[in-house]
Amino acid sequence: MKKEQNTAPRHSWDYYGISKERYKELTEAIQNIKYASVAHEIADRTNKMLSKYILLSVRKNLSYEGLQTLWELREIERIPCGRSDFYGWRREFYHQMDLKLKEMGK
C-alpha cells in the first residue's frame, strides 16, 4: 500500500504540462457526471483527507476562500490544510486526472 505523502506538491501548471485550455477541458470533465467516479477515485488517491474539498472546489468553482466561507457558515468542516498546500494538492489532482483521461483517450 502506498504511504500518503505528508508534504504538499509545489509544482506549477507548467511543470505538469497543463495549459489554460487543457485546464478548462479537465474542469469540464470533472464537473461532468460521466466522469464522477473517476474524479472521486483520483481525488481519493491524490489525498484522501482533502478529496472532498478538492472535488467541491472544482465542481462548484470555489476558491480556497470560498471553501472557508462555507466553513464559516457551518456548511462544511474546516479545511485541514492551508491555502498553499490545498492548491498544491489540487494541481496534483488535475495532473492525475489529465493522465487518467489521456489513458482513456480523452
From first to last of its 106 residues, the chain has per-residue pLDDT tens of 344 456 899 999 999 999 999 999 999 999 999 999 999 999 999 999 999 999 999 999 999 999 999 999 999 999 999 999 999 999 999 999 999 999 999 8
> Between 83-103 and 20-31, two packed helices, what is the crossing angle to 10 degrees?
80
Cell of 48: 484522501
Determine contact, residues 13/84, Cβ cutoff 8 Å: no
Report domain extents, the chain.
15-103
**Closest to 49 measured CA to CA, from 104, 9, 92, 89:** 89
Residue located via cell numbers 456548511? 75
